[in-house]
Chains A and B, each alone.
Chain A
Amino acid sequence: MRKYHTLDKLLDAAKKIAVDKDVITFDLFDTLVIRRVHDPDLIKLPVARYIASLAGQKGIVIAWQKVQQYRDEIEQHNRQDTGSKYVDFEAHYPTFMARTLEKIFQDQYTEELLSQVTEYELLMESTMLLAREKFLNWLKELKEQGKRVIIISDIYLPSEHLKILVDCVGILSFVEDVVSSADSFMAKASGAAFPLIEKKYGLSKDRWLHIGDNPISDGLKPLEFGIEALVLNDAGEKLRKSITRRYLDYSDGKPFWRGRALQQLMAPHEGENVEHEALYIEGYNFLGPMIGGFIQEIAERCRKQGITKIFFLAREGWTFKLFWEKCTPVLYPEGDLPEIHYLYVSRMALAGATCAFQGLTKDNASIAFLPLGNRDFRDLCRIFSLDYKPFIEILAKHSLQPDSCLNCHHPGFVNANQENFDAMLYDDSFQEEIKRQTLPLNNAMIAYFTESGMFDHEDVAIVDIGWLGTIQRFIFDAIKHHPQCPNLHGMLFAATRGMDFAESEKNKMEGLIFDRHKFNLAASSILYARDLFEEACRAPHPTLNGYRLKADGGYELEFRRTDDEIGKAEVAQDNYFSPLQQGIQDAAERFGSASALLGYKARDYRAWFNYLLSAKLAFPKTDEIARVRHQTHLDDFYGKHKPIKIYEKRKKTLWDESLFVLRFNPFVRLKYFFHNLKERIREQ
């Protein structure tokens, strides 16, 4: 038996020996394929949780730990049974799992239940498995050379299950057969498997090479039988497993490491770990896990609060919805999740519709003047999709003109204008004209929302990236008159607030990663670079301009044009950030399987996310800012007027500093950190 400490050295030797051999048999686990996790038994835990939740759905209350205990006991009995008849103490998964399920579900047990559980166990296994790239390449060569390749594994899964796993990692087409000890109860460990395989496949010992990782099963036993054997004792793999084990062990006692353990399990290996653009890496390693935590928290809250439908709001909701679709099948295999829908909305599209029944409120009017580029009644009309001409007489009645300045940040503003405007809001003729003009918008929007299922549920979640909650406010204002208006549960990635949000039983809002109403200094680092999250999550379609009522009573969605200067700039920006978005999407599936394996709740990752936000946004490397900071942020909500110069200057953040300052001023990050700290303390 020859032992090799690196895969390269083993392959060099194996390739030389294989020249004189007709058949090469391989061990499967830790040889041809590796697991992302250090301990294969950990894969049993999400399966136990799945069984416990299936039992819960059938009215059986059982803790997943108890399920795992039953499984271990029954598997042990199964091994004792086979040990009394055969040399090896092997287990057979379908047998012991059926017995476990029978014990738990009793008269509710069905064959379908067993296949459901088996399917999930194999899914979890396959998400944690991957082929070793160098072996895979050699298998291709062996196939070309016409060598026979057989996989032999000592495991409780029968060969039909192993073939599914081998197929998932892309090896099945290169092998003749997959042999499992669970089928014959003759294992490599005792050496009984080798004569069985020799007979079954008509092999000759001197033309046979076996490769594996276990010095006894794959080294000593084949050697005793007369087969040449090579054993891989891979130092690199041992190190990888040792590191993974420590992350997982530490996360038990120190919650800080839970998010890091999650990322260790999400990490790509072997052939998956190829070179990527720096933006992709930011998407996968920084934003992906955080969006995953956000999505997991939404799912947990929806289950707890009985929310039956989630609306992911355009345009950032696009990324959230894709993430949800990729990660929840593994994370929540029992289903029992709310329906999801991507809702086309925008502030511009909704603003008008909000006025159809309640008219223009003072709060909504003040939202229009939040952006410094909006100055007068014409800007207000642009935002609320109004025609200003019918208002000229009413304006004159209140001593106002369409271009009277209504924003205190612009030259020409006088308090009287503001007072007159406020008085006009109480003028019935003004409000009637507003309602007349905006009713078709509201009707079109209601038609679209009805088709989207907004009014078919009692409680719905409104998921958006942030920040003030304006869109949710507009949605609620526009639908609250509807007899089937649902309870809106706003779940924002970050709620920066800034405007009073009138919360009620029917309309609630909370920031899940950051909420200004809850002191979290590390998470407040989001305020350094809000636009980054918008660019990273934005959907690949233009913004919605409005809902148009068709002659037949139906609706039409009107999108912003993409052929003008702003539209083209946005497309260019989307192209620039596409690797970042790809990184986020690729992280989704891995997040699902890693989080399912760890079994942590979203809140368990909070401490690590706080670190990510602080390290990447408040204390980023200069190159990271240079790569990720946005180029131009585009929004039609902002008007084109120029405010007074002192207001024009946007409040500078760390991310607005020049690269020279960022690189050579060692205290610049601390300076902004203390600014942020001061502001957060003042807010409390």
Chain B
Amino acid sequence: MKKLFTSTYDLSGLSIIRLFKFMCYSKIFPFGNFGTGAGAKCLLVLSVLHTFGGPVFTFYTRYEEKLSPLIKKIPRRGKNGNIIGGD
């Protein structure tokens, strides 16, 4: 007996780690057509979030007020491709 959705907000039987491994193998073997593929960065971010997101977010929410100004300083790319944030 298992839950459909795991405690890390992942799908039972279709975890992000399974997807990660599959996509790594699909770089070697022609498993089929997966559109544009998962994308290494997307896979990595989601794997980290699903795996270590719990402690990271617990820490972040506890010190949100102190961390928010620091996080805003990290430059990142917006949806239109422009760099946003950072000094």
Contact = CB atoms under 8 A, between A and B. Distances in A.
Interface of A: 5, 233-236, 238-240, 242-244, 246-247, 249-250, 252-257, 263-264, 267-269, 273-278, 280-282, 284-286, 520-523, 525, 606-607, 610-612, 614-616, 618-619, 624, 670, 673, 677
B48 to A, nearest CB: 11
B5 A257 contact: no
B38 A257 contact: yes
A274 B3 contact: yes
Contact of B4 (A249, A285, A612): A285
Say which size band chain B's interface belongs to.
35 or more
Which of B22, B42, B45 is packed against the most chain A CB atoms within 10 Å?
A: B42
Given A243-B49, A256-B35, A274-B3, 10 more contacts: A235-B57, A243-B9, A244-B9, A254-B36, A256-B34, A267-B5, A276-B3, A285-B14, A522-B31, A522-B33
A256 B11 contact: no
Contacts, number: 138
Nearest to B34: A607
B32 A614 contact: yes
A234 B58 CA distance: 8
B1 A254 contact: no
Given A233-B64, A267-B4, A607 B35 contact: yes
A235 B29 contact: no
B22 A256 contact: no
Interface in B57-71: 57-58, 60-62, 64
Interface string B9-51: 1011110001100100000011111111111001001100110
Which of B2, B12, B35, B64 is packed against the most chain A CB atoms within 10 Å?
A: B35
Q: Which 9 A-B pairs have the closest CB atoms?
A: A522-B32, A607-B35, A521-B32, A275-B1, A239-B57, A235-B61, A255-B35, A267-B5, A235-B57
Q: Is the interface of A mostly helix, strand, loop or mixed?
A: helix
Given A246-B46, A247-B46, A281-B13, A523 B32 contact: yes
Nearest to A250: B42
Contact of A239 (B3, B32, B33, B53): B53
B19 to A, nearest CB: 7
Nearest to B45: A246
Given A5-B62, A624-B13, A243 B2 contact: no
11 contacts: A234-B61, A235-B58, A239-B57, A242-B57, A244-B9, A256-B38, A273-B3, A281-B2, A521-B32, A525-B32, A615-B22
B75 interface: no
Contacts of B56: 239
B2 to A, nearest CB: 6
A17 B58 CA distance: 25
Contacts of A252: 79
Nearest to A587: B4
Contacts of A523: 32
Contacts of B45: 246
B36 A246 contact: no
Contacts of A253: 36
Nearest to A267: B5
B54 interface: yes
A536 to B, nearest CB: 15
A615 B14 contact: yes
A246 B5 CA distance: 17
A611 B22 CA distance: 9
A275 B54 CA distance: 21
Contacts of A273: 3-5
Contact of A235 (B39, B46, B60): B60
Contacts of B22: 611, 614-615, 619
